[in-house]
Amino acid sequence: MNETSAKTFLFVPGHRPDRFAKAAASGADVVILDLEDAVAPERKDAAREHVRAWLEEGHRAVVRINAAGTAWYHEDVASVGRALAVMLPKAEDPAEIDSLAGRLPGVPIVPLVETAAGIANAVAVCGADAVVRPAFGSVDLAAQLGVDHRSHEALRYARSALVVAAAAAGRAAPIDGVTTALDDEAALVADLEHAKTLGFTGKLCVHPRQVAVADRELAPSASEIEWARGVAALAGDGSVAAAGGQMIDKPVEARAKAILERAGEPFRPAG
């Protein structure tokens, strides 16, 4: 699946090659082989070699490398040229993204925006040429801000800022951060509903059991699809129409088209 339209992204620790195939078979749209937070310093070198070998065997995965400025960054970059895309943590400087892209020609970049500076510079970060779609690092940002990463209200501004930045830069809608409650489906569903309401269309998952729930909750609902079909039935002649007491014009048509595309249906105006 194209990383711009994928809904579910499953992290796998890079030092656990025994889990790579299981992750690929989990139903997640995209597997992220992690060289950063999930891997202890003494295991970084081994993890890098496991990831390199997996990619060289022809498997497709995004790789989260270590941040620029760390002791592992340059070796990570040298090992991920076959990745589906590279996730850059602590992304906050578009020049840094451009530099990474110069070393990995043709490899898309997913900036993980998880610092206050990253949120403040989000439009520029999303606008870097190699960026296909940003991701939100809720846990790290919350730690920097001194707030609870589980609080929707505390991080509402940051999430919305990233959604707006992605749209302003013409990039795909962002991927929301992880839900750390592994055994609480209600918490996961609440996080997904909140993120979807704000405009996120993807979710970072840290356990295979989260994948099916995220896939279900991020898909258009039956009522959304019915509404979009109704808009399509009245659209197409370039004029403003009304349905169910609501005005239908070009922006409304665009939203209906996006909903149907996410549902795997064509938007066929009647006019």
Q: Which positions make up the binding site for substrate?
A: 64, 114
125 CB burial (10 A radius; 0-12, 13-18, 19+)? buried
> Is there a contact between 192 and 217 (Cβ–Cβ < 8 Å)?
yes
Which residues participate in the annotated binding site?
Answer: 64, 114, 140
> Is there a contact between 234 and 248 (Cβ–Cβ < 8 Å)?
yes
Which residues participate in the annotated binding site for Mg(2+)?
Answer: 114, 140
DSSP alpha helix (H) spans, the chain: 20-24, 44-56, 73-79, 94-103, 116-120, 122-127, 138-145, 156-168, 185-198, 209-218, 222-234, 250-262
Both tokens assigned to 243 = 């349905």
Strand partners, 13: 34
Closest alpha carbon to 265 in 208, 218, 219, 234: 219
Closest alpha carbon to 225 in 259, 269, 271: 259
Q: How far is 236 from 52, CA to CA, in rounded Å?
A: 50
